[in-house]
Amino acid sequence: MTDTSRRRAHRESRPPVLVAALVLGAAVGLCLLPLVPVFGPRAAITAIVGGVLLGATTAAVAARRRWSGVVTCGVVLGVYLLAGAAIAVPTMALGRVVPTPAAVLALLAGAISVWKEVLTLDPQLGAAADVLVAPYLLGLGGSAVAVSIAVRAPGARRTWAALVPAAVLGISLLLGTKQTVQPLAAGVVLVALLLTWAAWRRRALAWRRAIALVLMAVAVVGGGVAGGPVLADPSPRFVLRDEMVPPFDPRDHPSPLSAFRTFVKQWRDTPLLTVRGLPEGAAVRLATMDAFDGVVWNVAGSAQAEGSGSFRRVGETISTSVTGVSAHVEFQVLDLPMVWLPTVGYTERFSFTGADADLALKLRYNDATGTAVLTDGVPAGATWSADVVVPEVPEEGALDGAGVGTVRLPEPTGVPEAVPLFAGQIAGTASSPLLIARSLEAGLANGWFSHGVSEADYPSLSGHGADRITTLLTGKLMVGDGEQYASAMALMAREMGLPSRVVLGFIPAEGAGDEIVITGNDVQAWVEIQFAGHGWVAFNPTPDESRTPREDTPQDPVAEQPQVRQPPQPPPDPVVPPEDDTEQPQTREHAEDPIPVDRWGTVIMVAASAGVPVILLVSPLVVIALLKRRRRRRRRTSGDPVTRVVGGWDELIDEARDLRRSAPVTATRRETAVHLAEVFPRRSSRRPPVAGTVAGLAASADAAVFGPGQPPAEHVDLYWQQVEVARAAMRAAIPRRQRLRSHWATSSLRSRRAGRRRAARAGR
């Protein structure tokens, strides 16, 4: 018997360790799924699976070998450093596997600093630098802590290990994005897994509870699927990375458009940068400006979430929804003393190598405008490459029926009065957004071109503020260059309801080629207008450089207006006279509009979506309470007086059974009274002790059953009153949570049904 007991104890001690490692490791892995969109599937899954397997295995081995907590922590730290070189920082490991001093240092420093890196870099991060330390450390540490608690904590405290995956899930959600991986399926599996394991560890796992859990999950999931789209808040969920504001603020730097004349005057023939692999017809972009304050166009501040001022650190890859021509472009800066980094189209990946690898830490990118900056300025000689997507130019006629986009842009301030007047003069009869944009572009392109930087040029002042735009539009001649014309068209487009912005960049005269040298003479400013379904479309309102004023140029205050073909005007709508005489005073208040039919449908859908799950969850509790009430009433009112007294004692026994203080089945009433007095100690002086009350009830029940005759009705009523007093005293002697749970406990119902079945079998 001794050997058998040892073998049984050994068998009982082994499965919990293995089961805990499997269940809690899988739970931690599910809780790390929100990090997959942050790092990308390939990089994230490798780090998560590796960390979880190592953490759970290490904790299980430590528990089997009975290592102390200090030794276990040391072993986990060693595993973190040895295996982390290949999993988290493979680029720093020898052969991508063997740890090096640089890899060990990166793992130690990354445990503290990587969280900031993850929050300030734009997904997908990939395996850049040491960012994979975050999922690897969460998987390793979370699984090791959870398994250690599950196999080392005493008694019921082992189930506290289920809280560790919940904590890991909270951290993952804060570090994640607004998208995650199968949240519904992962959440249901996670809850079912942890609840089943916790119930098994507490030896409370039963088929009825498993079925109840499945029914509850079905009700919750069904209600969520049906009512989620109606009841859910339309605002995106909170993620911590959206609250992290990088230190770079474009408002700390002068307007990029203000440097237009500097390019023309000082760097006209100076090589600024070289570009290789530039697609045909593509332009090199420096800055995109969408805020006008009456003085300059500038990049909106970082508070504008959808504007041009939200610059963020980026990871190994950059997600973009723009479609077009993909290209690999290489840049080399020769002389460009500013913070704006030249780009082409929308970038999907920046690659800084060699001596310029440190520039990646200073890179900030705006994926709404496709522009980038280096916070400390672009150094001379810097080289890098970029994988870009150049949006396709819409074909002729593709924009004819397109509406304007819905992007939010900062409202311009200090707009001169000449802007709306001139806009209405040249585009007031246009009937579509495209015709308005084409009219503005053609009207300004009929002006005259001059930089005004040499004695041979016609006088043309620099700047693009309210005064300069007023002079451009109302002067004797409309003369300027790309700085003024782009500013004027963008302001007029805003006045006509078109979302517009100004772009500063380079349009090489050489076109596409293997290597293009860009000088200051290639600088250009143009306007982009957003059309629904087509994105931002470029317009160039600057006149051709050959249109320069001469001495005999007519001094017309307004340039010749372009001829833009307009569609025929639609016939006017018929005039319907009002039903009420609006000129007579109204003595009756207007009745409130009734709720429309479609709104009633929404109300019914919301009520059904919210009510059905509640009814499914509450109905079993209501049925149990009604069955107990019906049983109590039948025991008190049905049968002869002896049966009613016995029913009162049975009610007391069932109350103890629902309170999880069951009396022995074979005990007499007096023995049961002693047992109840022991398991229900007196906790409040306001209630009578259980011992004296149940002892009297036991004696009265024995007297009624074994005594002569029938007890009077008054005795039965008094007996039931004492039963209620005893029940109240029993309930007052236990914790509140058990009292609440006993209202819907089914132990007494199942016990009575089992007793009737045994009696029926005995009778047969």
Comparing 587 with 477, the larger pLDDT belongs to 477
User: For the chain, what percent of residues have pLDDT higher than 90?
Assistant: 24
Comparing 754 with 51, the larger pLDDT belongs to 51
Q: pLDDT band for position 204 (50/70/90)?
A: low
Task: Write the burial class of residue 594 (CB in 10 Å: 0-12 exposed, 13-18 middle, 19+ buried).
Answer: exposed
pLDDT of residue 135: 92
User: For the chain, what percent of residues have pLDDT higher than 70?
Assistant: 78
177-202 CB burial, b ≥16 within 10 A, e <16: beebbeeeebbeebbebbbebbbebe
pLDDT of residue 610: 58
Residue 614 backbone phi and psi in degrees, to 5: -65, -40
pLDDT of residue 362: 86
Q: Give the residue among 53, 186, 38, 180 at the shortest CA–CA distance from 115.
A: 38
Q: Give the residue among 525, 410, 414, 541 at the shortest CA–CA distance from 467.
A: 414
| Assigned token pair, 237 | 């969920």
pLDDT of residue 443: 92
Structure-token match 């450390």, residue found: 137
Structure-token match 């109240």, residue found: 728
Q: Any bridge partners for residue 373, and if so which?
A: 340, 364
Element holding 8 (H helix, E strand):
helix 2-31
Using only C-alpha atoms, the chain has a radius of gyration, in whole angstroms, of: 40
pLDDT tens-digit readout, 737-763: 888 888 878 888 877 666 666 666 666
pLDDT of residue 709: 83
Q: pLDDT band for position 575 (50/70/90)?
A: very low
Least confident of 161-165, 589-593, 696-700: 589-593
The pairing of strands 291-292 and 271-276 is: unpaired
Q: Give the residue among 310, 79, 35, 14 at the shortest CA–CA distance from 176.
A: 35
pLDDT of residue 753: 66
d(CA 363, CA 436): 38
| Assigned token pair, 146 | 């959870």
Q: pLDDT band for position 456 (50/70/90)?
A: confident
Element holding 276 (H helix, E strand):
strand 271-276
Q: Which residues contact 686 (CB under 8 A, 6 or more apart)?
A: 732
Helix (H, G, I), strand (E, B) or coil at 374: strand
- DSSP-derived letter for residue 257 is G
| Assigned token pair, 95 | 């052969």
Whether the per-residue pLDDT at 549 is higher than 90: the answer is: no
Helix (H, G, I), strand (E, B) or coil at 478: coil
pLDDT of residue 192: 76
pLDDT of residue 607: 65
d(CA 197, CA 177): 30
Helix (H, G, I), strand (E, B) or coil at 335: coil
pLDDT tens-digit readout, 231-283: 555 555 566 666 664 557 787 888 899 999 999 988 888 999 999 999 888 99
pLDDT tens-digit readout, 71-86: 899 999 999 999 988 8
Structure-token match 């993620």, residue found: 239
pLDDT of residue 56: 92
Q: Give the residue among 749, 730, 529 at the shortest CA–CA distance from 654.
A: 749
pLDDT of residue 596: 52
As a whole number, mean pLDDT of residues 148-153 equals 86
Give the residue extent of every domain in the chain. 10-177, 252-391, 639-763
pLDDT of residue 541: 94
- DSSP-derived letter for residue 429 is T
pLDDT of residue 301: 62
Q: Give the residue among 480, 482, 502 at the shortest CA–CA distance from 263.
A: 482
pLDDT tens-digit readout, 493-533: 999 999 999 999 999 876 556 789 999 999 999 999 999 88
pLDDT tens-digit readout, 410-443: 899 989 999 999 998 888 788 889 999 999 999 9
Cis, peptide link before residue 124, omega less than 30° from 0:
yes
pLDDT tens-digit readout, 3-28: 555 555 444 444 578 888 888 888 89
As a whole number, mean pLDDT of residues 636-652 equals 89
Question: How many Cα atoms sit within 13 Å of 472 on the Cβ side?
Answer: 35
